[in-house]
């Protein structure tokens, strides 16, 4: 094989043989070389992927049914957001009223419950009833949507029930029933009512107040209070055990009631061991006074 030197012709490199016979008999090593830039440009212009992408970008049209569907979604979400804002405004007012009511109830822990303290707390019940009526009116235009937005006022309602049951127990020594709580708050409508689970959680919250109340009352000299509270909590705990509770918030709150009952038992046993009587004197002191 003779030496072949490259020559530049019209922008292409060509291997030229010095022998005419090699030109007549093509050698497999004779080939054409194009510049890299020219090859890359040729590949890009003839790429089927590029042609496919361009045709998809300009030839495809939006699906009318898809636009209609998501347009309805947008309208639905905007209406739902507006409704939720109206609900949250009323719920915020319920929360403010609840704080005022709780501030009055806290005074019961520092002194004996008096009718004035209880009436001050009960004065907020009418305000709460009006707020729940506003919620009922708002949801009145959206039938069947109660449980969809129920979570927006669920926590506040549980707190309200806990305070109502506590005040009712201070006055009567009994538990406020579910129907009575519904009537007090005006939640006895066909579609807007007091959820049973919210009522039960509120009762569990109320039991959390009793151990503190018992300790403060014993400190103030009411040695018969632990016995009354222990009897009430024991019956309430036995009633809750009739329920088949799942592992949820209500179950956890019921488990907390066991510790409330144990704390009241400890106070009751301590008072009994010391021999303290309801009038503030021990049994030994009464015996000495009787002998004298």
Average pLDDT over every residue of 208-233: 93
Q: Residue 212 pLDDT > 80, yes or no?
A: yes
Range of weakest confidence among 22-26, 79-83, 132-136, 202-206? 22-26
- The per-residue pLDDT for 275 is 86
Q: Name the domain boundary from 132, 162, 189.
A: 189
- The percentage of residues in the chain with a pLDDT greater than 70, rounded to a whole number, is 73
User: Could you tell me if residue 30 is inside a domain?
Assistant: no
Boundaries of domain holding 213: 195-276
Confidence of residue 183 (pLDDT cuts 50, 70, 90): very high
User: Could you tell me if residue 34 is inside a domain?
Assistant: no
Same domain, 165 and 235: no
Burial class (CB within 10 angstroms; exposed 0-12, middle 13-18, buried 19+) of 211: buried
- The per-residue pLDDT for 147 is 87
User: Could you tell me if residue 121 is inside a domain?
Assistant: yes
- The per-residue pLDDT for 60 is 66
43-to-34, 38, 57, 232 alpha-carbon distances in Å: 13, 9, 21, 89
Q: Residue 290 pLDDT > 60, yes or no?
A: no
Phi-psi group of 49: left, alpha or beta (phi > 0 → left; psi -120 to 50 → alpha; rest → beta): alpha
Q: Which two tokens stand for residue 255?
A: 């488990």
CATH code for the domain of 264 = 1.20.58.200
pTM of the complete model? 0.72
pLDDT digits (tens, 9 = 90+) for 4-47: 555 545 544 444 444 444 444 455 444 444 444 444 444 444 54
User: Could you tell me if residue 38 is inside a domain?
Assistant: no
Q: Name the domain boundary from 142, 164, 189.
A: 189
- The per-residue pLDDT for 279 is 53
Same domain, 199 and 184: no
Q: Count structural domains, the chain.
A: 2
User: Could you tell me if residue 205 is inside a domain?
Assistant: yes
pLDDT digits (tens, 9 = 90+) for 64-123: 888 888 888 888 888 888 899 999 999 999 999 999 999 988 888 877 667 888 898 999
Task: Report the distance separating Cα 215 and Cα 194, nearest Å.
Answer: 32
User: Could you tell me if residue 71 is inside a domain?
Assistant: no
């Amino acid at each position: 094989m003779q030496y072949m030197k490259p020559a530049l012709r019209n922008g292409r490199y060509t291997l030229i043989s010095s022998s005419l016979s090699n030109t007549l008999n093509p050698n497999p090593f004779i080939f054409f070389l194009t510049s890299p830039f020219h090859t890359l440009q040729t590949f890009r212009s003839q790429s089927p992927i590029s042609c496919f992408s361009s045709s998809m970008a300009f030839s495809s049209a939006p699906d009318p049914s898809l636009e209609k569907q998501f347009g309805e979604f947008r309208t639905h979400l905007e209406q739902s957001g507006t409704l939720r804002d109206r609900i949250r405004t009323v719920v915020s007012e319920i929360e403010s009223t609840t704080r005022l009511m709780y501030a009055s109830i806290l005074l019961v822990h520092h002194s004996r419950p008096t009718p004035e303290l209880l009436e001050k707390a009960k004065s907020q019940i009418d305000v709460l009833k009006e707020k729940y009526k506003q919620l009922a009116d708002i949801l009145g235009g959206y039938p069947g949507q109660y449980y969809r937005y129920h979570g927006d006022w669920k926590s506040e309602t549980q707190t309200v029930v806990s305070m109502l049951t506590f005040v009712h127990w201070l006055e009567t020594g009994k538990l406020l029933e579910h129907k009575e709580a519904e009537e007090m708050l005006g939640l006895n409508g066909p579609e807007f009512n007091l959820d049973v689970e919210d009522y039960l959680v509120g009762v569990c919250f109320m039991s959390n107040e009793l151990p503190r109340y018992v300790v403060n009352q014993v400190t103030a000299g009411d040695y018969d209070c632990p016995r009354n509270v222990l009897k009430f909590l024991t019956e309430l705990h036995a009633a809750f055990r009739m329920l088949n509770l799942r592992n949820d918030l209500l179950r956890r709150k019921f488990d907390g009631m066991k510790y409330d009952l144990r704390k009241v038992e400890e106070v009751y046993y301590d008072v009994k061991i010391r021999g303290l009587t309801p009038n503030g004197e021990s049994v030994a002191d009464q015996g000495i006074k009787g002998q004298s």
